[in-house]
Amino acid sequence: MIQILEKPEIRRMAMPISVEQYHRMSASGVVAERTELLRGVVIEKMSKSPLHVYIVRWLYEWLTSRVTSDLHVRQEQPLTFADSEPEPDIAVVEGAVGVFRSAHPTTARFVVEVAIATVELDREKGNIYAEAGVPEFWIVLPQEQAIEVYTSPSVEGYQQMRRHEDADAPLISSIFPELSLTPR
């Protein structure tokens, strides 16, 4: 099957939708629930493997027990940006849960994506997070037993990336030094 958007001449003709249009389409049932808006394009989310579910849940519990009371941890819930509404596996945002009754957060302090079958998509989402000013972004790569840590966000993406592969050495967040993880 030929993928129509793989043809550059056709991809240039595609018309992106806005976040507001995406919300209206979602509310009216035109867009499936298992989607994200990335760069004005509706992307169907992949099914989650048991390993993905396990890691995301473990990270959620680990972070929830460590963040301060002025922050809260969101699991697979939207962040609303200029042209995108990704649903990161984990996001740490400022403010109490009730603050977001009528709108999703427009940034986060820390975001994690677990990449089993979606590494390139998650790296592209990293560019979106950087543009939104998310100070630190991790991609957990369980099959490679590594974590990519992205910092110094800018409109061109993250300016720094380091790869943590040492299972015996703790990985310490640059913005939350109290988050020390020994990935085993």
SS3 content of the chain, % helix, strand, coil (to 5): 30, 30, 45
Q: Where are the domains of the chain?
A: 46-181
Looking at the DSSP bridge assignments, the partners of residue 111 are 91, 137
CATH of 46-181, one of 3.90.1570.10, 3.40.50.300, 3.30.750.24, 3.30.530.20: 3.90.1570.10
pLDDT band at 176 (very low <50, low <70, confident <90, very high): confident
Encode pLDDT of 53-98 as tens digits. Answer: 999 999 999 999 888 888 999 999 999 999 999 999 999 999 888 8
Largest CA distance in the chain: 50
| Beta bridge partners of residue 93, listed in sequence order | 72
Mean of the pLDDT values across residues 13-34? Answer: 90
Distance separating alpha carbons of residues 154 and 135, to the nearest angstrom = 9
